Amino acid sequence: MDSSISKGTGTPVRNGITEKEAGSLCVRLIQNEKVCCFEVTEVNPTLDKENLMAENTFEILQRVVSQITY
């Protein structure tokens, strides 16, 4: 995600996607029957002083989990 909202990463990216775009992308991916797992990587609490990255990640996970059908 964009470095303005992803402080909790060792590899910040300028002009990256927003939290909403990341959430929408993840939701679309898990709707594909070929997808069998989902992983979030690099949320580093030592770099995320305001806890913003963790909160954004949690929002994305909530969106994804709410779309899972069994």
Within a domain: 8? no
Reported pTM: 0.76
- Measure the CA–CA gap between 64 and 70, rounded to whole angstroms: 13
Domain of residue 46, residue span: 19-67
Distance CA 31, CA 27 (A): 6
Number of domains in the chain: 1
pLDDT level of residue 7 (50, 70, 90 thresholds): confident
Question: Which pLDDT tens digit goes with each residue over 29-69?
Answer: 988 889 888 888 878 888 887 888 888 889 999 999 888 87
The answer to whether residue 13 sits within a structural domain is no
Chain centre to alpha carbon of residue 69: 20
pLDDT at 42: 79
- Residue 1: inside a domain, yes or no? no
DSSP annotation of 15 reads T
> Among candidates 37, 46, 43, 45, which has minimal Cα distance to 19?
43
Q: Is residue 6 part of a domain?
A: no
* Residue 37 within a domain: yes
